[in-house]
Structure 1
Amino acid sequence: MTDLLTVDDLRLRYPGRGLRAARPEVLRGVSLTIGRGETLGLVGESGSGKTTLGRAVLGLATPTGGRIHFEGQDITHVTGRRRRPLAKDIQVIFQDPYSSLNPAMQIADILAEPLLAQDTTSADARRTVGRLLDQVGLPSDAAQRYPREFSGGQRQRVAIARALALKPKLIVCDEPVSALDLTTQARVVNLLIEIQRETGVAYLFITHDLHVVRHISHRIAVMFHGELVETGTAASVTTDPQHAYTQSLLLAAPIADPDGQRERRLLRKQAREAGHTFAR
């Protein structure tokens, strides 16, 4: 599989102010790859650095060391006008589908905006909007409605459609289903899988939930305190984790079986007593 994205020894430290001039590194030498058409799940609890890594790939956070290559091109410090052509190939789906959509704009305008920014004609943009709505399973009359008129799951479908508008090669999915109920989560994840099969798009799927990421990912990378502590196939990481932190994350995920859940609580207690106080 040809690597689409390569992150090599990436480091990032946010600048401090006043007494906090020397802030700790958020990313500490992170290295990973994503192949064309592949989903890499990036897992870790809040504060682990996983969202910062996604922001660095998107050009929203500036690395202080290391390199990011996309299709062989060094994009580590590409900003401003030089970044604009990359927007066609690298898109994002944010966690909150409502705050990421302009409430004053109709869905048609929201979806047409990135197309028009890339000099697509109005007529072509309208045709593309209709195709995108169909692709994410929304009716054609959704184009004339506003984000507030949709459920959370439907709004996330709009956000997915917007990310797909420019036919990207990579989409950074930053906790895209964590704000949704379990049933809607499953529908959105299945939609992303279906779209990947149809288009060959690659995903960097950022989440704290090992169960969700197991369903969608080909490989999983586990992040703890700005470092990758385990990487492997989705099956191996979620069924036979090698690192104590990954084991703790797996034990922290709730399951429907009461007896199994009690056993997990016991195992977590034993882990805490052994000094493995990773996941909350």
Structure 2
Amino acid sequence: MTLRESHVSTPLLDVRELRVAYPARGFRRPPVEVLHGVTLDVRAGETVGLVGESGSGKSTLGRAVLGLAPVTGGTIMIDGEDVSHAARNRRRALAGDLQVIFQDPYSSLSPSLTIGDTLSEPLRASGMSSKDAARRVGDLLDLVHLPSDAARRLPREFSGGQRQRIAIARAIALEPRIIVCDEPVSALDLTTQAHILDLLLEVQSRTGVAYLFISHDLNVVRVLCHRVAVMSGGEIVEWGDGDTVTSTPSHPYTRRLLLASPVADPKEQARRRTLLHAAKIESATAMTVMEEKS
């Protein structure tokens, strides 16, 4: 798998100083802010990785882009339009440009609908005829390398990797310009992960779609992403070229994430554990300094 060159163009997705806060439990307690002025962008045909540990805020950012989290400050621009507080009907209209692939493909697929019905539903809703929708479903199944008879089967008849292929087919059904991929391979075994990453690269090559790829694994984003943003504590602590950030990061938190990735060599793994301990101390110190400045 090889990376394609990033396009230099006006951002397709442009997030500026984004803040997200949730109501706090308890009477008259102020809202709890989980994103603190996050800025990033995704260009057409590009893959941007968003990496961090659980609780870092990366999935919240993805939910905010999709209109599923309360934006309390900043802007989210899609193709030049501010959708930070877009109404529900406008959000539905954006479905043609913006789609999502979730972590768990089974829970995002209706167990009572055949795959053909699942894939044709958004097509019919967009005004496509039954005949054209059926033809499009066949093309989608072919694109994600599933047999044509898959359209007549239910989600429970497929493996986890096959279900994720179906989820990818559904995400690209309306030919979106950008897809938010929220941990799309984290629930899969390593071999299946590689197949799905290859498929995402193939789909991007054939359609030109852009990805905002959310993950906790630097090894995964190294394969797929042109640029990478690293999040911790609701802020971006490092942001730059994918190869640089995932191989020779400058921030101690990113180095800690890199050292936490397991390797097959026991001696190298032991060396990493020693370095990881030092990186954790350095990262904690850096985060404390950042909090004091803010």
* TM-score range relative to shorter protein: over 0.9
Q: Secondary structure at the match of 1:34?
A: strand
Distance in 1, matches of 2:285 and 2:121, equals: 46
Unpaired runs of 5+ residues, structure 2, are: 1-7, 287-294
Post-superposition Cα deviations, 1:212-241, rounded to whole Å, max 9, x if no partner, equal 011000000000010000001111001110
Cα distance, 1:39–1:19 mapped onto 2, change above 3 Å: same
* Cα shift at 1:181: 0.2
Which residue identity lines up with residue 47 of structure 2 in the other structure? T
Cα distance, 1:20–1:221 mapped onto 2, change above 3 Å: farther
Answering whether residue 108 of structure 2 is matched by residue 120 of structure 1, we say no
Answering whether residue 148 of structure 2 is matched by residue 134 of structure 1, we say no
Cα distance, 1:18–1:57 mapped onto 2, change above 3 Å: same
- Which residue, 78, 87, 99 being the options, matches 1:79? 87
Aligned to 1:207: 215
Which residue identity lines up with residue 71 of structure 2 in the other structure? P
Which residue identity lines up with residue 160 of structure 1 in the other structure? I
Q: Secondary structure at the match of 1:276?
A: helix
Which residue identity lines up with residue 92 of structure 2 in the other structure? R
The number of residue pairs the alignment matches comes to: 279
Distance in 1, matches of 2:218 and 2:153, equals: 35
Answering whether residue 156 of structure 2 is matched by residue 152 of structure 1, we say no
Q: Secondary structure at the match of 1:83?
A: helix
Which residue identity lines up with residue 246 of structure 1 in the other structure? T
Which residue identity lines up with residue 60 of structure 1 in the other structure? L
Answering whether residue 216 of structure 2 is matched by residue 216 of structure 1, we say no
Q: How does 1:54-73 map to 2 (within 5 A)?
A: 54-73=62-81
- Which residue, 3, 6, 14 being the options, matches 1:6? 14
* Cα shift at 1:65: 0.2
Post-superposition Cα deviations, 1:18-62, rounded to whole Å, max 9, x if no partner, equal 258324311100001100000000000110110010011111112
- Say whether the 8 Å CA contact 2:253–2:280 is kept in structure 1: no
Distance in 1, matches of 2:285 and 2:206, equals: 42
Distance in 2, matches of 1:202 and 1:70, equals: 12
- Which residue, 9, 33, 40 being the options, matches 1:32? 40
- Say whether the 8 Å CA contact 2:252–2:282 is kept in structure 1: no
Cα distance, 1:107–1:275 mapped onto 2, change above 3 Å: closer
Post-superposition Cα deviations, 1:233-270, rounded to whole Å, max 9, x if no partner, equal 11100111010100000011111222211110011122
- Say whether the 8 Å CA contact 2:255–2:279 is kept in structure 1: no
Answering whether residue 268 of structure 2 is matched by residue 268 of structure 1, we say no
- Which residue, 133, 156, 179 being the options, matches 1:171? 179
- Say whether the 8 Å CA contact 1:59–1:79 is kept in structure 2: no
Which residue identity lines up with residue 193 of structure 2 in the other structure? Q
Identity %: 62
Distance in 2, matches of 1:171 and 1:274, equals: 35
Q: Secondary structure at the match of 2:32?
A: coil
Aligned to 2:291: none
Distance in 1, matches of 2:260 and 2:95, equals: 36
Distance in 2, matches of 1:275 and 1:54, equals: 25
Cα RMSD over matched residues?
A: 1.5
Q: How does 1:45-56 map to 2 (within 5 A)?
A: 45-56=53-64
TM-score (normalised: structure 1): 0.96
Unpaired runs of 5+ residues, structure 1, are: none
Distance in 1, matches of 2:267 and 2:238, equals: 28
Answering whether residue 263 of structure 2 is matched by residue 252 of structure 1, we say no
Cα distance, 1:32–1:272 mapped onto 2, change above 3 Å: closer
Distance in 2, matches of 1:241 and 1:271, equals: 12
Distance in 2, matches of 1:96 and 1:20, equals: 36
